[in-house]
Every structure is written in structure tokens, then in C-alpha cells.
């Protein structure tokens, strides 16, 4: 059985997706920046029995490690992250923009370049890009995330067109009001009554989404249960 690769497994939607994917018996291979530390990687594998923690950090290093281990990838969940630092456009350092582009667009673009050819040969495969709804709901101070996440979404939709003739699905999950310590930390938006009121004023459900809830959607998209679904953005 081909494996499923999840990037940044300990961040953003990763903590919610990992247990759902393992529950459904996927062969799960994970990347995370913390896995450069062998002890962190080992602890992750112990805590999530059946998951493999890769040590590689760049797309090329990940692909090389997969080849060395003899792991074929049949699905990729590009769960990429970059910290938001709200600033007016004129105050954003270009280096911040470049680093965001590297993390949120160039990283998944290069990983796709490396893992797409075997999927084309096999005439099957799946990509799910975890982006953000920010480009659909721009907010002052978030021009970097808004612009770069939009670029990743556009790339995914272009990939969907190119990959469909090879039986490869490509979809986008674009959450916004989702609990994560990177974007909506618990202390501010769950534990603090003022933060809860702020979220309730914006979100029809009256609360932040839980990562596991998005994990269920991700699992459906990689499950093959709806093989005709491609080129979609779920927000």
C-alpha cells in the first residue's frame, strides 16, 4: 500500500489529522521541523503508533529519504505554516515576504515536482493543500498571508488541471477560524472570555473549529471514496 505524506505534522491541522488518518489505517509518513531532533522524532512515533517520522527538512531531502527507505507516496497533505505578524503593508520587510513564499508556496511546489512523476506513472494519487480562507476574507495587517496563501491555492488548481488526466486528485482545504497555537492560540481565543466573544461574533457556529474536525475532511479527500472530486476549494 502506498503511503500518505503529511508535512508539518505537529503544527496547524497536523495534530487533528494524524489520529484520524491512523484510525483509518493509512500508512502515514510525517515531516515536521522538530524531527531534526532524533528524540522528538522517536517520541512522535511512540505517541502515534504506526506513523513514521522523517528527518529530512527540505523537499529534496524528504524525497531522498523516502527513496532510501523504499517508501512510495500515493497521497500528499501539504500542511504548510508560516507565523503571522500583522503589519501595515508599508511596514512589511521584504525578507518576511520572501520567507513566507518559501514556506507556503515554494516548499509545496518543489515537493510536488518531486513526488508527482511516480504518481503519473502509476496513474493514481492525491494531493490536498491546506491553505487558508484569508484571501477570501482579507483583513488589515495580513497582506503577506493573504497574498501567499492565494498563490498556493492558485498553484493547486493549476495542478488539478494538469494531473486529472492521470487519475490524480488535487483539492484545497482553506480553513480560517480553526484552533491552532500558530494562528488562534487557546489562551486568547478559547480560555479568554473576550476572545470567545470575538470569535462568536464572526463564526456562525460560535466557536473555533477543532483540528480533528478538519482532519475528518482531509481523510475523506485522501480516502479515494470520491475519486471524481478534484479542483475543489473547501473553506
Please state, for a pLDDT cut of 70, what percent of the chain lies above it. 100
Give kind and range of the element (H or E) at residue 52. Answer: strand 52-53
Tens of pLDDT, residues 28-58 = 999 999 999 999 999 999 999 999 999 999 9
pTM of the model: 0.93
As a whole number of Å, the end-to-end CA separation of the chain is: 30
CATH number where 79 lies: 3.40.50.720
Question: In which domain, by residue range, is 205 found?
Answer: 3-234
Task: Count the Cβ atoms, other than its own, within 10 Å of residue 150.
Answer: 18
| Predicted pLDDT at 11 | 94
| Predicted pLDDT at 180 | 81
Of 23, 27, 30, the closest CA to residue 8 belongs to: 30
Q: How many domains does the chain have?
A: 1
Instruction: Evaluate whether 194 touches 25 at the Cβ level (below 8 Å).
Output: no
| Predicted pLDDT at 200 | 86
Tens of pLDDT, residues 155-209 = 999 999 999 999 999 999 998 888 888 778 899 999 998 999 988 888 888 898 8
Tell me the three cell numbers of residue 22.
491512523
Q: State yes or no: pLDDT of 235 exceeds 80.
A: yes
Amino acid at each position: 500500500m502506498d503511503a500518505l505524506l503529511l508535512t508539518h505534522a505537529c503544527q496547524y491541522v497536523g495534530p487533528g489529522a494524524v489520529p484520524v488518518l491512523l484510525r483509518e489505517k493509512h500508512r502515514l509518513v510525517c515531516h515536521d521541523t522538530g524531527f531534526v531532533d532524533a528524540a522528538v522524532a522517536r517520541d512522535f512515533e511512540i505517541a502515534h503508533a504506526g506513523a513514521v517520522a522523517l528527518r529530512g527538512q527540505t523537499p529534496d531531502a524528504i524525497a531522498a529519504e523516502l527513496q532510501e527507505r523504499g517508501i512510495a507516496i500515493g497521497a500528499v497533505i501539504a500542511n504548510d505554516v508560516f507565523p503571522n505578524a500583522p503589519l501595515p503593508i508599508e511596514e512589511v520587510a521584504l525578507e518576511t515576504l520572501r520567507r513566507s513564499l518559501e514556506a507556503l508556496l515554494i516548499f509545496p511546489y518543489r515537493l510536488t515536482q518531486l513526488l508527482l512523476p511516480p504518481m503519473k506513472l502509476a496513474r493514481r494519487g492525491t494531493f490536498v493543500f491546506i491553505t487558508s480562507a484569508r484571501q477570501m476574507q482579507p483583513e488589515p495587517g495580513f497582506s503577506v498571508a493573504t497574498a501567499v496563501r492565494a498563490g498556493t491555492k492558485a498553484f493547486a488548481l493549476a495542478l488539478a488541471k494538469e494531473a486529472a488526466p492521470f487519475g490524480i486528485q488535487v483539492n484545497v482545504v482553506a480553513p480560517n477560524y480553526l484552533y491552532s497555537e500558530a494562528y488562534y492560540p487557546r489562551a486568547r481565543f478559547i480560555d479568554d472570555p473576550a476572545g470567545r466573544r470575538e470569535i462568536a461574533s464572526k463564526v456562525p457556529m460560535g466557536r473555533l473549529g477543532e483540528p480533528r474536525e478538519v482532519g475528518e475532511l482531509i481523510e475523506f479527500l485522501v480516502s479515494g471514496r470520491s475519486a471524481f472530486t478534484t479542483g475543489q476549494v473547501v473553506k
